[in-house]
Structure 1
Amino acid sequence: MTPGSLVAPAEQSTGAGDTLAGAYLAQCARGISPATALTRAVKAAGRHTAHTPLTFPMPRRAPS
């Protein structure tokens, strides 16, 4: 694998850091080496950014 070999257009970036941190910590908790855990976490965050985000309606105040 070379730098940039996994580059894909990003559809969205919200939550990418959360995905990376969660994946890394989950791998470490399973006893995976830090280097391997980081590689897997970066791939997970990359997959996360490659998908179109879900849309949710904005909350509205109840009529008074």
Structure 2
Amino acid sequence: CKMMSMMANLEETCRKYNEVLLLVTEHKNEQNAFTDTLQLQVNLVKSKVETLRAIMTKGRSIEF
């Protein structure tokens, strides 16, 4: 009887552990998606700045 109780506890612990792992994975995926989106935004801004700089300098390179 004690063995059955221990097995049930072990199963419950494993189930909870799997839930936690699932949540961690989900969070990591969301974080990766956010990072990718942020990188796209940064690249877009960089591109616009380069275009604006080229227009303002008529293609000449300037030092900052």
Q: TM-score, normalised by structure 1?
A: 0.30
Larger helix share, 1 or 2: 2
Query: Which gives a bigger RCO, structure 1 or 2 (Cα 8 Å, sep 6+)?
Result: 1
- Greater Rg over alpha carbons, structure: 2
